[in-house]
Amino acid sequence: MILLLGATGYIGQAFQSELEQRGEQFRTLSRSQVDYTRFQPLFEYLKANKPSFVINAAGYTGKPNVDACESAKADTLQGNTLFPQALANACAALDIPFGHVSSGCIFAGAWVDYGNGWVVEKDMTRSEFKAIAAKSPEKIRGFDESMTPNFSFRDQPCSFYSGTKALGEEAIEGVGKNYIWRLRIPFDEFDNHRNYLSKIQRYAKVYNNFNSLSHRGDYVKACLDCWFQKVPFGIYNVTNPGYISTAEVLEMIKDILKPNRKFEFWENDADFYATGAVAARSNCIMDSGKLLAAGINMQSVSSALHHALQAWKIES
């Protein structure tokens, strides 16, 4: 039996649907039943129920956005660092493997070759970077799993949320048997205030940058495949291969959904942060080659976006 934590959340719901579709035996556990975020009740529950695998889709995400974590630091640290550490220790003590939903937001920028070898560019809004993206995309690479997070408490600036997600990875990596599945900006065909495609359609102005993204359904399928196909434990960037700019996503939205509005962009970072955004935002390109090499294939980001928009379902 698989145990799913955080099934009431945006990502947890997608794990639940996929497990149901596959006809897998699983059980969900909410904090309203057992406070699984504390070591002792969690350990007792695991010992009594002996799941074969635990999926941790629980964590503290700021609502309505990451700025909320800056004023709820204790909850953010507890939900994203201390709780995963307790889970890893409890699972290791009972020899239960688990998978943890992490985030790509612990990185900023991308690797780029401007002509003198590969360097990290944290500011992808620079005109030199945009020119390379337009003319020589092969000169841009994402961060892979061997690289140290560069948007974290150890490499600042970072948002408080990202800092706790990076520390969460440090706290659990190699503790017992686990997968660390990095998710990045989830989207799919279901209009929802948590869906990236819904968010950018509703923002008054949008922030143009480059990012890798994760289709929510593709993400949970790939995570479950890691476990069922016995892929080696470790960290995996679970993003649809490739990257895309916000402007390109908006072009797709205009072509396919034909919304009755004009979209405007923030002029620059100063313009964006002047309007009240508190936390530094992560924009980054991820390399998902390790997942592919492990035999798990995800459609490209442009194909996933295209399919989601073609099948777009408005929230009722």
Ligand X SMILES: NC(=O)c1ccc[n+]([C@@H]2O[C@H](COP(=O)([O-])OP(=O)(O)OC[C@H]3O[C@@H](n4cnc5c(N)ncnc54)[C@H](OP(=O)(O)O)[C@@H]3O)[C@@H](O)[C@H]2O)c1
Residues that bind ligand X (CB under 6 A): 6, 8-12, 30-31, 37, 57-61, 75, 79-80, 101, 103, 165, 183, 186, 194
The nearest distance, CB 84 to ligand X, in angstroms, is: 8
Q: Please tell me the distance from the alpha carbon of residue 59 to that of residue 197, in angstroms, as a whole number.
A: 22
> From start to end of 13-155, where are the E strands?
26-29, 53-56, 98-103, 110-113, 118-121, 140-141
The nearest distance, CB 14 to ligand X, in angstroms, is: 8
The string over 111-123, giving b where at least 16 C-beta atoms fall within 10 Å of a residue's C-beta and e elsewhere, is: bbeeeeeeeebbe
Cβ proximity to ligand X, 59 vs 242, nearer residue: 59
The nearest distance, CB 139 to ligand X, in angstroms, is: 27
Q: Please tell me the distance from the alpha carbon of residue 30 to that of residue 61, in angstroms, as a whole number.
A: 16
Cβ proximity to ligand X, 118 vs 203, nearer residue: 203
Between β-strands 140-141 and 214-215, what pairing exists: parallel, antiparallel or unpaired? unpaired
Cβ proximity to ligand X, 59 vs 149, nearer residue: 59
The nearest distance, CB 173 to ligand X, in angstroms, is: 15
The nearest distance, CB 179 to ligand X, in angstroms, is: 13
- Candidates 311, 285, 306; CA nearest to 123 is 285
Residues 237, 293 contacting (CB under 8 angstroms): no
Cβ proximity to ligand X, 139 vs 234, nearer residue: 234
Cβ-closest position to ligand X: 9
- Candidates 183, 182, 184, 200; CA nearest to 309 is 200
The nearest distance, CB 103 to ligand X, in angstroms, is: 4
Q: Please tell me the distance from the alpha carbon of residue 196 to that of residue 213, in angstroms, as a whole number.
A: 9
Cβ proximity to ligand X, 10 vs 39, nearer residue: 10
Between β-strands 264-265 and 186-187, what pairing exists: parallel, antiparallel or unpaired? unpaired
The nearest distance, CB 283 to ligand X, in angstroms, is: 13
Cβ proximity to ligand X, 132 vs 185, nearer residue: 185
How far, rounded to the nearest angstrom, does the alpha carbon of residue 114 sit from its chain's CA centroid?
28
Cβ proximity to ligand X, 11 vs 133, nearer residue: 11
How far, rounded to the nearest angstrom, does the alpha carbon of residue 1 sit from its chain's CA centroid?
26
Q: Please tell me the distance from the alpha carbon of residue 290 to that of residue 125, in angstroms, as a whole number.
A: 27
